């Protein structure tokens, strides 16, 4: 690292709260699928800001949308209607086929909102006695850092020393319908909150039909299915929504809803749930601001116009097929994923660490997600040539553990 880099690193370590353990690389710029550090070194971005820059860094259409809208109107209190928000609602409805959209900012706020809506539905429609509504969550879930998210987490690093915890969460094993049914039977359950693929837990892909069967169980026990698609949504898994076949009662979107421009999230749902919310019972100063409404609309449009869903599916297949013999030869434990939400699981944590460092040396950035699992998630705009080049880097880097 050069002198500027070392100075910047000292500034971070001296003045910033150290709630992240970052790699020793300081990024200055991003363009498309690449990031550039302060030394001018170019890297493939294989993390995509945790699936936020599906459209690539600083997509020209998003930059233009920000630029144009910021000259017109960026924020107007929700005390008034805004032109852009009206347009955004209509667009989201036609795109996702849900009756209504409730805009928020970060992913965690989106999920909190869905939980509030589920509790509301539980009391007003299902007739759950006051204060007794339960939300079922899965072990190893991750939906952010609020007190409620900590309260429903099974990871001590997330929840320890942050109590007292919010009651009303019941945990089930992920990808286990028997356990789910056992807990659904208890009554008083308003919602089942689930990630179609658990990203932070190490790209855990459930069995085919898990979500569909969960949907059937939710119907049988009169429980809302809530899909947290903050990470899996918007083309990442080779579908617009990873949960689209299960047709959740509520879907939470975030991250790529702005293509990396700003925090934009939302809950999509139908009138049976969304009509229950009353004016004044929920909101956010910045939720649904005109700038976000404009950016969100363009971000989704890019996914469609640039065929990113198809590309995600194809390049994901290419990625897994090109590397599967590393599993067969026992060099790595597993390579899994859907679309371009993929992971390599190594046999040992030290091997994962070694390879991640080698990736960086060779011009590709990513990070260990959990244990010995490394997420491999480039922006969805990656071309064939770039995919093949980056796979060459991956193969070259894997040589240190062969």
Ligand X SMILES: Cc1ncc(COP(=O)(O)O)c(C=O)c1O
Identify the sign of the CA torsion 335, 336, 337, 339: positive
By CB under 6 A, residue 287 contacts ligand X: no
Q: Of 169, 175, 192, 255, which one is the catalytic site residue?
A: 255
The reply to whether omega before 264 is within 30° of 0 (cis) is no
By CB under 6 A, residue 228 contacts ligand X: yes
By CB under 6 A, residue 231 contacts ligand X: yes
What's the distance, CA 402 to chain centroid? 32
Rounded to a whole number of angstroms, the minimum distance from the CB of residue 384 to ligand X is 28
Q: How far apart are CA 130 and CA 222, in angstroms?
A: 17
Nearer to ligand X, 54 or 231 (CB): 231
Q: Which residue is nearest to ligand X (CB)?
A: 107
Closest CA to 299 of 82, 64, 50: 64
Rounded to a whole number of angstroms, the minimum distance from the CB of residue 80 to ligand X is 27
Q: Of 45, 142, 239, 313, which one is the catalytic site residue?
A: 142
By CB under 6 A, residue 112 contacts ligand X: no
Closest CA to 323 of 363, 365, 374: 374
Q: How far apart are CA 385 and CA 382, in angstroms?
A: 8
By CB under 6 A, residue 45 contacts ligand X: no
Joined together, the tokens standing for residue 45 give 């971005």
Closest CA to 252 of 319, 191, 343: 191
Map residue 218 onto helix, strand or coil.
helix
DSSP code at position 348:
S
Nearer to ligand X, 226 or 230 (CB): 230
* 108, 241, 341, 374: residue in contact with ligand X (rule CB under 6 A): 108
Nearer to ligand X, 98 or 143 (CB): 143
Q: Provide CB contacts within 8 A for 162, sequence distance 6+.
A: 147, 150
Rounded to a whole number of angstroms, the minimum distance from the CB of residue 230 to ligand X is 3
Nearer to ligand X, 50 or 91 (CB): 50
- Per-residue binding letters, 195-214, with ligand X (x by CB under 6 A): x---xx--------------
Residue 80 catalytic? Answer: no
By CB under 6 A, residue 37 contacts ligand X: no
Stretch that binds ligand X, among 41-49, 115-123, 141-149, 339-347 (CB under 6 A): 141-149
Residue 42 catalytic? Answer: no
> How many residues in the shown chain lie near ligand X by CB under 6 A?
16
Identify the sign of the CA torsion 72, 77, 81, 84: positive
Closest CA to 238 of 298, 308, 299, 305: 308
Closest CA to 256 of 196, 195, 308: 308
By CB under 6 A, residue 103 contacts ligand X: no
Rounded to a whole number of angstroms, the minimum distance from the CB of residue 105 to ligand X is 8
Q: Which of residues 232-261 bind ligand X (CB under 6 A)?
A: 254
DSSP code at position 167:
S
DSSP strands (E only) in 124-228: 134-138, 169-172, 189-194, 224-228
Nearer to ligand X, 84 or 195 (CB): 195
Nearer to ligand X, 233 or 332 (CB): 233
By CB under 6 A, residue 48 contacts ligand X: no
* 43, 143, 192, 286: residue in contact with ligand X (rule CB under 6 A): 143
Map residue 79 onto helix, strand or coil.
coil
By CB under 6 A, residue 144 contacts ligand X: yes
Nearer to ligand X, 231 or 237 (CB): 231
Q: Of 37, 45, 175, 228, which one is the catalytic site residue?
A: 228
- Give Cα separations from 222 to 99, 158, 215, 216, 219 (angstroms): 20, 31, 10, 10, 5
Joined together, the tokens standing for residue 32 give 């498309």
By CB under 6 A, residue 359 contacts ligand X: no
Which residues are catalytic, by number?
142, 228, 255
Residues that bind ligand X (CB under 6 A): 50, 106-108, 111, 142-144, 195, 199-200, 228, 230-231, 254, 263
């Amino acid at each position: 690292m050069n002198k500027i880099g070392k100075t910047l690193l000292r500034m971070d370590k001296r003045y910033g709260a150290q709630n992240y353990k970052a790699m020793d690389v300081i990024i200055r710029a991003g363009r498309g699928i690449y990031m550039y550090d302060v030394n001018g070194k170019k890297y493939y971005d294989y993390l995509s800001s945790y699936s936020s820059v599906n459209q690539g860094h600083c997509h020209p259409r998003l930059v233009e949308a920000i630029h144009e809208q910021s000259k017109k109107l960026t924020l107007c209190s929700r005390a008034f209607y805004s032109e852009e928000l009206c347009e955004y609602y209509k667009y989201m409805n036609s795109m996702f086929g849900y009756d209504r959209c409730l805009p928020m900012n970060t992913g965690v706020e989106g999920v909190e909102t869905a939980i509030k809506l589920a509790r509301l539905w539980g009391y007003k429609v299902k007739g759950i006695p006051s204060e007794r509504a339960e939300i079922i969550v899965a072990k190893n879930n991750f939906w952010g850092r609020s007190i409620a998210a900590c309260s429903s987490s099974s990871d001590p690093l997330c929840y320890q020393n942050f109590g007292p915890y919010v009651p009303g969460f019941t945990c089930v094993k992920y990808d286990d319908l028997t356990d789910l049914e056992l807990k659904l039977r208890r009554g008083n359950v308003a919602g089942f909150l689930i990630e179609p693929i658990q990203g932070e837990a190490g790209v855990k892909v459930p069995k085919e039909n898990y979500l569909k069967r969960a949907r059937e169980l939710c119907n049988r026990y009169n429980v809302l299915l809530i899909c947290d698609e903050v990470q899996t949504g918007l083309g990442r898994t080779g579908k617009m929504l990873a949960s689209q076949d299960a047709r959740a009662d509520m879907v939470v979107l975030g991250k790529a809803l702005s293509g990396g421009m700003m925090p934009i999230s939302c809950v999509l749902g139908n009138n049976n749930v969304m009509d229950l919310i009353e004016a004044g019972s929920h909101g956010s100063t910045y939720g649904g601001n005109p700038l976000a409404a404009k950016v969100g609309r363009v971000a989704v449009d890019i996914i469609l116009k640039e065929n990113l869903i198809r590309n995600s599916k194809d390049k994901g297949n290419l990625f897994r097929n090109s590397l599967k013999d590393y599993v067969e030869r026992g060099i790595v434990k597993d390579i899994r994923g859907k679309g371009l939400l993929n992971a390599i699981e190594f046999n040992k944590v030290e091997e994962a660490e070694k390879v991640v460092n080698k990736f960086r040396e060779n011009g590709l950035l990513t990070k260990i997600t959990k244990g010995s699992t490394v997420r491999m998630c480039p922006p969805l705009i990656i071309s064939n040539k770039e995919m093949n080049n980056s796979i060459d880097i991956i193969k070259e880097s894997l040589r240190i553990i062969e």
